Amino acid sequence: MTASEIHLPDETPFDPTARDAPCLTAAWARHWHARPDAPAIHDPERGWLSRGDLERETATRAGRLAALGLEAGDRVLLSAESSADLVTSYVAALRLGLVVIPTNTAYGPRELAHVIEDAGPRAAIVDDPDKRAALSALAPALRVLTPALAIPDGPVPPLDAARPEAPALIGYTSGTTGRPKGAVLSHANCLASAEGLRLAWRWTEADRLLLALPLFHMHGLGVGLHGTLYNGATAVLYRGFRPDEILSEIEAREATLFFGVPTMYHRLASHPRAGALAKLRLCVSGSAPLPASLHEDIERVSGQRVLERYGMTETLMLVSNPYDAERRAGTVGFPLPGVELRLEGEPAEIQVRGPNVFEGYWQRPDANAEAFAEDGWFRTGDLGSMDGDGYVRIVGRAKELIISGGYNVYPREIEDVLRTHADIEDVAVVGEADPEWGERVVAYAVTSAPLALDALRSWVGDALAPFKHPRAFHRVDALPRNALGKVQKHRLAKGEVLPD
């Protein structure tokens, strides 16, 4: 197809690559200096930390890191549950100019060994004592620290001096199609994304975010925490997600924002006090597709119309449903201010460019050559479409596309239909090699009652063309998901999840 390009003009965001642009922490520090007594972060154990507390504690911790011999550009691995200690040590590392590697707390020795070998961190900040011991054995030269950084103080070096183009984060991709790659995000990338969200979501210092997302992922870290600090807003940290706690604290904390993944919203929608969501200014969903049926369920029980958005580790936030206009179920909306998007090829791949888009993977020229088109646009690997009003829809991943009998089959389309079956609670569709069709459509589902393949195909009827009907159907106890609720389809395709 001919490339179709769209751009949301809205308000033009500032240029994070300009000569006088601040680094990420210098932008945050503007709020610390303006109102040092204002609250900033609420910790489950310590209570509120003010902006001044953040500035002082992060400066002290930056001095401790510098006393270890760490210098700007050195990498630091970070793996810990949400806490004020995690936040202050993270900010301290960035203020010193270190490059932080946020790492999934569920990673075991094999995954950690890959990150250490690939990125070469000089230090690791880890809360799990068993994992600290494993890292010390794995890499004896690695300085392994607790999130509290309980080490001697040192002189506070110059802070907040990184250039906008300097790397701030290395975010490792999920690795569903091979060994994880480290996406290098600069200070400018992070600032551009934060500014786009400020404009699009009307984020101000009056906002208070209930932040139950993990801070090792870009949804919790790059959107939730960065956005809070960038806008001078406040955030309440949670260690884990408990619907009772969130719903009861919306009013108690005078919260205005909640960011979650679809599995969180599913549990909130089914809670007897789900109506409390109506008190929030904005609910945002991301990291996995929000089923249109769940979108409608949340509105029915609470009146809250969830805003779905789209982003990636490599780009931070790209696209969002509008704040003031229709939030269209099943779509992710329009490109954020500063982001350009086009649909290229057949099937149509979403390609993007903008100041939020990273420049490449850590020491992976081969992956970089594949990731970018010849004219510099980033190839997301996601297949998309656009309706007549310009709303972008994610159809699926290019590598998940099923070609059956010569026809393109998009798993997302089949999943959306199957989810409307009264007995299907959760479902994922994958392709399986087949000698006759090339690939056949296979559905894995969590069901509330026995369900036969023939009965399912009959029920689907003409809602889908016959070549899209499942040709195999497995009932499972649960679908494999990562920490943010995204289905790990590669595990289904490899037969790692056995039918019940």
DSSP 329-395: TT--BEEPTT-EEEEETTTTEEEEESTTS---BTT-HHHHHHHB-TTS-EEEEEEEEE-TT--EEEE
**What are 312's strand-pairing partners?**
316
What is the rounded CA–CA span in Å between residue 118 and residue 127? 22
The percent of residues in the chain predicted with pLDDT above 90, rounded, is: 75
What is the rounded CA–CA span in Å between residue 191 and residue 275? 34
Domain ranges of the chain: 4-393, 401-493
Average pLDDT of the segment spanning 430-450: 87
Q: Please check the confidence at residue 448 and state whether its pLDDT lies above 70.
A: yes
Q: Please check the confidence at residue 12 and state whether its pLDDT lies above 50.
A: no
Q: Please check the confidence at residue 412 and state whether its pLDDT lies above 90.
A: no
Average pLDDT of the segment spanning 104-128: 90
Q: Which residue did the predictor score with more confidence, 393 or 173? A: 393
Q: What is the pLDDT of residues 163-187, one digit of tens each?
A: 999 999 999 985 444 568 999 999 9
Q: What is the pLDDT of residues 43-78, one digit of tens each?
A: 999 999 999 999 999 999 999 999 999 999 999 999
pLDDT of residue 333: 97
Q: Choose the weakest-confidence range: 117-131, 206-220, 334-348, 421-435.
A: 421-435
Average pLDDT of the segment spanning 111-134: 93
pLDDT of residue 17: 54
pLDDT of residue 16: 59
Q: Please check the confidence at residue 194 and state whether its pLDDT lies above 50.
A: yes
Q: Say if strands 47-50 and 282-285 run parallel, antiparallel, or are unpaired.
A: unpaired
Continuous H helices in 373-500? 411-418, 453-460, 489-493
Confidence of residue 15 (pLDDT cuts 50, 70, 90): low
Confidence of residue 289 (pLDDT cuts 50, 70, 90): confident
Q: Nearest Cα to 150, choosing from 61, 278, 273?
A: 61
Name the 3-class secondary structure at 460: helix
* Side-chain half-sphere CA neighbours of 262 within 13 A: 22
Q: Assign residue 414 a region: left if phi > 0, alpha if psi is -120 to 50, beta otherwise?
A: alpha
**What are 378's strand-pairing partners?**
352, 372
**Contacts for 185 with CB less than 8 Å, ≥ 6 apart:** 167, 168, 169, 170, 171, 222, 314, 316, 358
What is the rounded CA–CA span in Å between residue 177 and residue 370? 14
Average pLDDT of the segment spanning 485-491: 79
Q: Please check the confidence at residue 230 and state whether its pLDDT lies above 60.
A: yes
Q: Please check the confidence at residue 234 and state whether its pLDDT lies above 60.
A: yes
**Contacts for 414 with CB less than 8 Å, ≥ 6 apart:** 429, 441, 443, 464, 468, 470
Whether the CB-CB separation of 40 and 54 falls below 8 Å is answered with: yes
Average pLDDT over the chain, rounded to an integer: 90
Q: Choose the weakest-confidence range: 255-264, 337-346, 475-484.
A: 475-484
Q: Please check the confidence at residue 38 and state whether its pLDDT lies above 90.
A: yes
Domain 4-393 architecture: 3-Layer(aba) Sandwich (3.40)
Q: Choose the weakest-confidence range: 15-24, 118-127, 354-363.
A: 15-24
Q: Please check the confidence at residue 19 and state whether its pLDDT lies above 60.
A: no
Domain 401-493 architecture: 2-Layer Sandwich (3.30)
pLDDT of residue 384: 94
| Phi, psi angle pair for 8, to nearest 5° | -90, 110
pLDDT of residue 177: 44
